[in-house]
Structure 1
C-alpha cells in the first residue's frame, strides 16, 4: 500500500513540476524578448533596402510601432 502512495506522489510531483516549469520558462522568455527585441531599427532599415525600398524615418518608426503593438497584445 505504501508503494501506491509513493507512485501517486511521484506522478503528481512530475505533473506539477512540468506545469510550473512551463509557465516560469514562458514568463522568462517574454521578459527577455521585451528587453531585447529581435528586430531593431537598423535591422529593419537593412531589410527594407534589400527589398528595394528607400526607407524613411517615418516609415521605420511606423513599422517599429506596429511591431511593438503586436507584441504587447500577446
Structure 2
C-alpha cells in the first residue's frame, strides 16, 4: 500500500464518521504495521477563531487491511 492509498483510506474513514477535514493530507509517523495520516482542521482557516487546539486531525491506517481509526488528541 502506498502513501496515496493510505491518505484515501483516511479520507474515506473521516467522511464515513462525519468528521470535517481539509485535504490533501500528508503522511506523519510511520510504524511497521500502520501509518499516521494528518489533515488540517477546517477551523484553522476561519479568521474569527482565535485558536484551534488541536490544529489537525490524525488517523491511523493499517498497512495490512486499510482499516482506519481516529487518533484521540488532547
Structure label with greater radius of gyration: 1
Decide which structure has greater helix share: 1
In the superposition, the TM-score normalised over structure 1's length comes to: 0.30
More strand as a share of residues: 2
Structure number with the bigger relative contact order (C-alpha 8 A, sep ≥ 6) is 2
TM-score by length of 2: 0.30
